Amino acid sequence: MMGVLNLTPDSFSDGGELSSQASLENKLDAMISHGVHVFDFGAESTAPMNHAISNHEELARFENLLFKTVEKRPDLIKGKRISIDSYRPWVFKKVYDFLMPFGPSELIFNDVSGVIDDELRELFVSCPKANVVYSHTHVPTREETCDHMRYLLDDLEASDILETFSVACEEFERMGVSDRLYFDPCFGFSKSSDQNIVLLNELSLLIRHFNEEQGLQKKWVLGISRKSFLQGLTGLSDKKLAQKDSEFFHFGLLTKWFEDLPDGNEYLIRLHDPKVFNYAKAFVENL
């Protein structure tokens, strides 16, 4: 499980929930107790209704909450797998430099932009122990990441995602960093509600074809928790109720993934409430 920890006032799902060091400590302790083993910290919401913030404002949110909490409770980081949800290499490098002395077992740049540029190439060099999530979006530049819904493809198919990942693999192989990657089909980004549903139906096949094409298994980040397209399936107009009830769909999809996803890959299931994962796993194991 990859547990989501939003250090934001405006996240679509839980903005403002983690507004103090105490609340962040409590959330981390709770996630650890529920078996979360990767912790994904984000300081900017990329939901379509929100505007981008500056590099310095994003970093300040990490400094004010994450950095101070780690200084007080280094045990929350030591030996843990830590992911930083950002599309700015400059911000990730600052967080990387701060966290590395505290001994995390892994630091991941969860880059939702899907952009391969000189900034990313430099990050692989300047952060030699960092791994990177490569995401499927259609934004042309990092600066336009928050406007990802402007870059929908009317005829998007799973084959488009497969081709995008294949081209990226060639570039990453030239860079010599193929062993430092995760892949994320990025549900909800640059995709309509209908396209997200189609992708859900074809996900296992996409992963299987990608493995066959590349000749080896890959590491994946998969996140559908509280996504707006799942909330839309509830038919509820109240956003809070729709968000809550969308977790029933999340539960059902997780049980399907436990049965259908190809073996041999590592899957990080990105989610807000680890109990949904644990209940789905228990359900499948007791069938």
- Nearest to residue 221, comparing CAs of 20, 83, 31? 83
- Nearest to residue 221, comparing CAs of 123, 114, 146? 114
Average pLDDT over residues 137-159: 89
User: Which CATH number fits the domain that encloses residue 33?
Assistant: 3.20.20.20
Neighbours of 199 (CB within 10 A): 21
The domain of 252 spans 2-285
Average pLDDT over residues 205-222: 93
pLDDT given for residue 215 in this prediction = 84
Number of domains in the chain: 1
**pTM for the full model?**
0.94
Average pLDDT over residues 62-80: 96
pLDDT given for residue 8 in this prediction = 83
Checking phi first, is residue 103 left (phi over 0); if not, alpha (psi -120 to 50) or beta? Answer: left
When mean pLDDT is compared across 46-60, 77-91, 189-203, the lowest value belongs to 46-60
**What is the band of 75 on the pLDDT scale with cuts at 50, 70, 90?**
very high
- Average pLDDT of the residues of the chain: 93
Reported as a single tens digit per residue, the pLDDT across 104-130 is 999 999 999 999 999 999 999 999 999
Where helices occur in 16-99 by DSSP H, the ranges are 21-33, 55-61, 68-72, 89-99
